[in-house]
Amino acid sequence: MQVLKFGGSSVANAVNIQKVISIVLQAGKQDSTIVVVSALGGITDTLLDCGAKAANGDEGYKEVLQKIETRHLETVKSLIPVTQQSSILSLVKKTCNELEDVCTGVFLLGELSSRTKDKIVSFGELLSSQIIAHAFQQHTFCTWKDSRELIVTDDNFGSAKVDFEETNNRVHKFFNSKDSLSKLFVTPGFISSNKHGAGTTLGRGGSDYTAAIFAAALSADALQIWTDVSGMMTADPRLVANAKNIPHISYQEAMELSHFGAKVIYPPTIQPVMTKQIPTWVKNTFAPDDFGTLIETAPLENGSLIRGISSMNNIALLSLEGSGMIGIPGFSKRLFEALSNEKINVILITQSSSEHSISVALNTFDADKAKEAVDRQFDYEIKLRVLEPVTVEKDLAIVAVVGDHMRSHPGISGKMFGTLGRNGVSVRAIAQGSSERNISAVIAAKDVRKAINVLHEDFFETTYKQINLFIAGTGNVGGKLLAQLQQQADFLQEHLRVQLKVAGLATSKKMLVRSEGIDLGNWQELLSEGEKSNLQQFVDQIKNNNLRNSIFVDITANETVATVYDQLLQSSVSVVACNKIACSSRYQNYKKLKDLAREYNVSFLFETNVGAGLPVIGTLNDLRRSGDTIKKIEAVLSGTLNFVFNNYDGSRPFAEVVKQAQDEGYTEPDPRLDLSGTDVMRKIMILARESGEKIEMEDISNDVFLPASCMDGDVPAFYEELKKHEAHFKKLYDDAAAKKCKLKFVAKFENGKASVGLQHINEQHDLYHLYGKDNIVLFYTNRYPSQPLIVKGAGAGAEVTASGVFADILRAV
């Protein structure tokens, strides 16, 4: 004996029913087979809508009834030969007339009781099962049997509880009767009757349950649940693109996953088959050759310590707390009695070890009723102020990690909560069963997609980790970065298992946000068609999209952009800043951003603030983290100034050399930031701060070499002033050359003091042999007291700066 159940999508229309017939005939060649079917896809909801309209006095219920009848008649006509249609068409018409009579009574009374609602929805399964039985009769002998004659329940209309002893007797009596000569039986799922003969239902999803009851009662060889997916998945594929099929799973694991939102199988289905150890397959009607999922006692290992991740939405958290609970027995009993009396189901329970508070998770639909019931139960204690009135938090969800093997492996919960924490998912309550098979966390509903994706990445995916980038600034450096991201995409995915996805771009004029990712082969055109740029709206979209592993990349020199870092860090979005303004702002702001990054467990990285692509800050941090102490820093930190003084020898105007540096992309948009020493001051201040010093810009001395008039007016006026002061610059060069020295703009930090200025460097100095646009940083430390640790290389240019930003992104990953 075998039992096959087909859900609503499997029997939604004539084409699908033909697939069902083919599967059953193939499966039933040797064994007796019971086929349990749901209503045609969507019909149960339509019937409920019809009843609601009738109860509300809306004559539109008649139109709904007509659509129901038409759909079933058309299914018959498409499925059964014309010469064989008469009897079943007559049966459909008769059944639909009975349905109309019931709905008319509801309309006249203006009342829809649970019992009447069960009566109305039962017509869906009655119609579909009889149509399908007639279709089978075109191929083989088939018997239709009304499950209401077999399954006996209590009087809980809408979610009746089964009397297994009486049901087993009836099932055995019918299917083992000598009068029952058929090898193929078709029966409706979901519907049953109580001991008084009144029609009841087993609740939504009850067709699975019906099939399991038959399988257990008859000790069937197997139960097959046929649906529209190829088995149970490691996560909801609508939320997780890389969700994987679970080939084998235990009864207990399947029960946990189905309870916490895995809709492939109805939770009560597992219990009857688990009791009898009946193998249960979840298969795909539309891909019957797929393996599906086999639910059994001891499943094969799947290479992971957990079997799946599930979630349940529309959760509210009800909390009762107060000093009056401590050490006093009976509070929990009274709480659950109050909920039980209102027929409110508790999904999750957690209690503090101090007994000061207890929280329960329940369906949001029941939250208000639950609060009233519990407040009423503890009214006396609340008036005495030994208990607080019950608090209710809504817009929550439960995420559950499930696996039989979790109990024998430490660290699963640590990994779970660490992963959630790193992505800014706050946990409101936690529960773990004594079997250690399930770890459940209550989180904000808005975080469900992110939470499930990051958990799935950490526990299941050996393919790649997805990083979502939001980039502000697509100019010279930004454009180079986007080109590098596109170029390295395959390498990163293959070797680092990282997929970098650009989900947002913003300039001063346009912005574009696409959660699915922006095509980097066509980003300029896509951005040009984006909406008008608004920085706060861009930040709000980043926060509202709430994508996992998000990184904001600032490749601007804009002060306003630097002011949004705190918002992003507090939303658990990492920040990579090429923009120096934030880190060179007041020390209090710099420290606040560093503290926020630590508090929210994200990255705040700004390597390119100092040496473009050079690992200057990284090296400094490595020294300090390993226990070394910075004694002195001496550096040439401006690729622009180094380029200028390496190329200026008096043979051509100083202004011309500066213009060349700007044209080749080595300067800031306003070259005066470089030549005035302001940019170098910012850089040495950042290094001093990273060394542990509290320092501000006004604490840094600057020996300015530019005439004051050069700082007036705009950039064109600046160049005119440079030309006027050519003699000044020529003298600077000649004085150095006379001493056989080179001019270098040097930054220095020592004993808590910082300074910048033009210096004469002789050929014995480490700074002498520094060419082109290169930068150099000398670290004198306890470990490097006389011979410094040197970081040297290109310190300017769009390509190397972009590569430095790229490296910070990978560090953040």
Q: What one-character DSSP code corresponds to residue 149?
A: G
Q: What one-character DSSP code corresponds to residue 19?
A: H
Q: Check: CB of residue 587 under 8 Å from CB of residue 780.
A: no
* 353 vs 357: CA distance, rounded Å: 9
For residue 160, name the pLDDT band (cuts at 50, 70, 90).
confident
Q: Are strands 391-402 and 550-554 parallel, antiparallel or unpaired?
A: unpaired
Q: What one-character DSSP code corresponds to residue 236?
A: -
**The pLDDT of residue 262:** 63
Q: What one-character DSSP code corresponds to residue 436?
A: S
Mean pLDDT for all residues in the chain: 90
Same domain assignment for residues 213 and 353: no
User: Of residues 176 and 649, which shows the higher confidence score?
Assistant: 649
The structure tokens listed for 604 are: 């705040």
Distances (CA, A) of 280 to 36, 188, 192, 300, 304: 14, 19, 22, 15, 22
The structure tokens listed for 681 are: 């001051």
Q: Which residue, 590, 610, 630, sits at the end of a domain? A: 610
Q: Are strands 308-321 and 391-402 parallel, antiparallel or unpaired?
A: antiparallel
Distances (CA, A) of 766 to 673, 757, 788: 26, 17, 9
- pLDDT tens by residue, 608-618: 999 888 999 99
* 151 vs 191: CA distance, rounded Å: 8
**The pLDDT of residue 259:** 72
- pLDDT tens by residue, 471-482: 999 999 999 999
- pLDDT tens by residue, 195-220: 888 889 988 778 999 999 999 999 99
Residue with tokens 């920085």: 535
Which residues partner with 515 through β-bridges?
none
Same domain assignment for residues 47 and 193: yes
151 has pLDDT over 70: yes
Q: Check: CB of residue 110 under 8 Å from CB of residue 57.
A: yes
Residues contacting 458, CB < 8 A, separation 6+: 415, 419
Mean pLDDT value across residues 60-78: 96
For residue 782, give the CATH number of its domain: 3.30.360.10
Q: Is residue 262 domain-resident?
A: no
565 has pLDDT over 80: yes
SS3 for 382? helix
Lowest mean pLDDT among 67-81, 406-420, 714-728, 733-747: 406-420
178 has pLDDT over 60: no
Q: Which of 160, 154, 235 is nearest to 190 (CA)?
A: 160
Q: CA gyration radius for the chain?
A: 36
Q: Check: CB of residue 467 under 8 Å from CB of residue 485.
A: no
In the chain, % of residues over pLDDT 70: 96
Same domain assignment for residues 65 and 201: yes
- pLDDT tens by residue, 102-128: 999 999 999 999 999 999 999 999 999
Q: Which residue, 459, 474, 500, sits at the end of a domain? A: 459
pTM passes above 0.75: no
The amino acid occupying position 709 is: S
Distances (CA, A) of 678 to 685, 708, 774, 778: 11, 14, 18, 20
Q: Is residue 276 domain-resident?
A: no
For residue 29, name the pLDDT band (cuts at 50, 70, 90).
low
- pLDDT tens by residue, 626-677: 999 999 999 999 888 888 999 999 899 999 999 998 888 778 778 888 898 8
92, exposed or middle or buried, with CB in 10 Å at 0-12, 13-18, 19+?
Answer: buried
Largest CA distance in the chain: 120
400, exposed or middle or buried, with CB in 10 Å at 0-12, 13-18, 19+?
Answer: buried
Same domain assignment for residues 506 and 633: no
* 509 vs 278: CA distance, rounded Å: 64
303 has pLDDT over 60: no
Q: Which of 159, 447, 404 is nearest to 300 (CA)?
A: 404
189 has pLDDT over 70: yes
Helices (H), 56-147: 60-79, 86-109, 114-136
**The pLDDT of residue 720:** 92
Tell me which H or E stretch contains 142. none
* 186 vs 130: CA distance, rounded Å: 8
Q: Which residue, 459, 491, 517, sits at the end of a domain? A: 459
How many other C-beta atoms can be found within 10 angstroms of the C-beta atom of residue 525? 9
* 807 vs 813: CA distance, rounded Å: 10
Mean pLDDT value across residues 70-76: 96
Same domain assignment for residues 604 and 644: no
Look up the domain containing 362 and give its range: 308-459
**Highest mean pLDDT out of 167-181, 396-410, 574-588:** 574-588
Tell me which H or E stretch contains 497. none
Q: Which of 240, 410, 228 is nearest to 309 (CA)?
A: 240
The structure tokens listed for 210 are: 């019906």
Same domain assignment for residues 175 and 321: no
* 441 vs 65: CA distance, rounded Å: 44
Q: Check: CB of residue 686 under 8 Å from CB of residue 583.
A: yes
Q: Is residue 198 domain-resident?
A: yes
The amino acid occupying position 19 is: K
Same domain assignment for residues 594 and 560: yes
Q: Is residue 257 domain-resident?
A: no
Same domain assignment for residues 582 and 498: yes
Q: Check: CB of residue 88 under 8 Å from CB of residue 128.
A: no
The structure tokens listed for 643 are: 């380029």
* 117 vs 220: CA distance, rounded Å: 32
**The pLDDT of residue 260:** 66
Q: Is the dihedral of CA 208, 212, 218, 222 positive or negative?
A: positive
Q: What one-character DSSP code corresponds to residue 162?
A: B
The structure tokens listed for 115 are: 């019992």
Same domain assignment for residues 440 and 494: no
Q: Is residue 283 domain-resident?
A: no
The structure tokens listed for 600 are: 């929210």
The structure tokens listed for 6 are: 């087909």
Same domain assignment for residues 514 and 634: no
Q: Single out the catalytic residue among 683, 744, 748, 792.
A: 683
- pLDDT tens by residue, 404-441: 877 767 778 888 998 898 888 999 988 876 566 888 99
Q: Which of 661, 607, 664, 613 is nearest to 476 (CA)?
A: 664
Q: Check: CB of residue 20 under 8 Å from CB of residue 288.
A: no
The structure tokens listed for 521 are: 């082969």
Q: How many residues does the chain have?
A: 813
Which residues partner with 759 through β-bridges?
744
313 has pLDDT over 80: yes
* 455 vs 537: CA distance, rounded Å: 29
* 65 vs 746: CA distance, rounded Å: 87
* 789 vs 783: CA distance, rounded Å: 9
- pLDDT tens by residue, 719-729: 999 999 999 99
For residue 438, give the CATH number of its domain: 3.30.2130.10
- pLDDT tens by residue, 354-387: 567 889 999 999 999 999 999 999 998 889 888 8
The structure tokens listed for 191 are: 């519907």
47 has pLDDT over 80: yes
Q: Check: CB of residue 802 under 8 Å from CB of residue 663.
A: no
180 has pLDDT over 60: no
The structure tokens listed for 66 are: 């007509």
For residue 554, give the CATH number of its domain: 3.40.50.720
Q: Check: CB of residue 48 under 8 Å from CB of residue 56.
A: no
**The pLDDT of residue 474:** 95
Q: Is residue 251 domain-resident?
A: no
**343 annotated active-site:** no
Q: Check: CB of residue 330 under 8 Å from CB of residue 272.
A: no
- pLDDT tens by residue, 746-773: 999 999 999 999 999 999 898 998 888 8
User: Of residues 68 and 343, which shows the higher confidence score?
Assistant: 68
CA angle 379, 385, 386 (to 5 degrees): 90
End-to-end CA distance of the chain: 54
The structure tokens listed for 405 are: 């093997």
Tell me which H or E stretch contains 152. strand 152-153
b (16+ CB within 10 A) / e for 290-325:
eebbbbbeebeebeebbbbbbbbeebbbbbbbbebb
Same domain assignment for residues 423 and 475: no
The number of distinct structural domains making up the chain is 4
CA angle 681, 683, 687 (to 5 degrees): 115
Q: Is residue 573 domain-resident?
A: yes
Same domain assignment for residues 524 and 454: no
Residue with tokens 């542990």: 692
Q: In what order do the strands lie in the sheet with 465-472?
A: 531-532, 510-513, 498-506, 465-472, 550-554, 574-577, 604-605
SS3 for 754? strand
Q: Is residue 243 domain-resident?
A: no
For residue 106, give the CATH number of its domain: 3.40.1160.10
User: Helix (H) and strand (E) counts for the chain?
Assistant: 29, 30
The structure tokens listed for 346 are: 């508790």
* 401 vs 255: CA distance, rounded Å: 13
